[in-house]
Amino acid sequence: AQSVTQLGSHVSVSEGALVLLRCNYSSSVPPYLFWYVQYPNQGLQLLLKYTSAATLVKGINGFEAEFKKSETSFHLTKPSAHMSDAAEYFCAVSGPGGFKTIFGAGTRLFVKA
Amino acid sequence: IAGITQAPTSQILAAGRRMTLRCTQDMRHNAMYWYRQDLGLGLRLIHYSNTAGTTGKGEVPDGYSVSRANTDDFPLTLASAVPSQTSVYFCASSEGTNNSPLHFGNGTRLTVT
């Protein structure tokens, strides 16, 4: 069975500071990992996905994530937070065929001026 | 603009009533999904469809039914709504291949009184 754990339901950073959102996964097969972002009153949008071609994955809006198999982690980072980054972020894992994608509980990012 | 259309955007429903949430996609994706989003729980899969004519149960299928008569439409029916079904419902689609991401609609906010 697959599962995802996001550490911290809320993260607050100052504008310009490093953003780090943590995600650990559990999967009995090679995982397909994703990060999505949700802005208020909208559906989720894909930020980035792990494709096994490279352990460091770059996404939209300056975000990136590093796949660490030994730590079963896929943490999301951004060097410098912007006010527009305030949103909820979801880590997700899916199995072969992409079916039954499982989501973490989400981390709400607050960015202070 | 290609994407997923959900209707209605919001609904207040009396307990015991029947309700169908509509979802249409124009991307010709094979797979479609229904998730519910509840505070602190992230997104939980209700039902999914790998291709037209087939459906499957997700994590929380009780009280819900779906059908997939064609590629584009994937309605979700609550036969007899209960207050615990108060939630935000998201329809999503994907190509259904390994590591294909989900594309989401903007959601339906349902309140069962």
Strand, coil or helix: A71: helix
Flag if B40 and A34 touch (Cβ within 8 Å): no
Q: Tally Cβ neighbours within 10 Å of residue B111.
A: 13
Q: Which two tokens stand for residue A20?
A: 């780090």
Length of chain A as a residue count? 113
The answer for A 2-31 residues in CB contact with B (under 8 A) is: 9
Taking only the tens place, the pLDDT of each residue in A71-101 is 999 999 999 999 999 999 999 998 765 567 8
Taking only the tens place, the pLDDT of each residue in A6-54 is 999 999 999 999 999 999 998 777 788 999 999 988 899 999 999 777 8
Strand, coil or helix: B75: coil
Across the A:B interface, residue pairs with CB atoms under 8 Å apart total 69
Q: Is the pLDDT of residue B18 over 90?
A: yes
Q: Which pLDDT does position A98 carry in this prediction?
A: 58
Mutate to test the interface with A, among B9, B99, B100 (most CBs of A within 10 A): B99
The pair phi, psi for residue A60, each rounded to 5°, is -80, 160
Q: In the block, which residue shows the tokens 């294909």?
A: B100
**C-alpha dist (Å) from residue A8 to A15, A47, A73:** 19, 19, 14
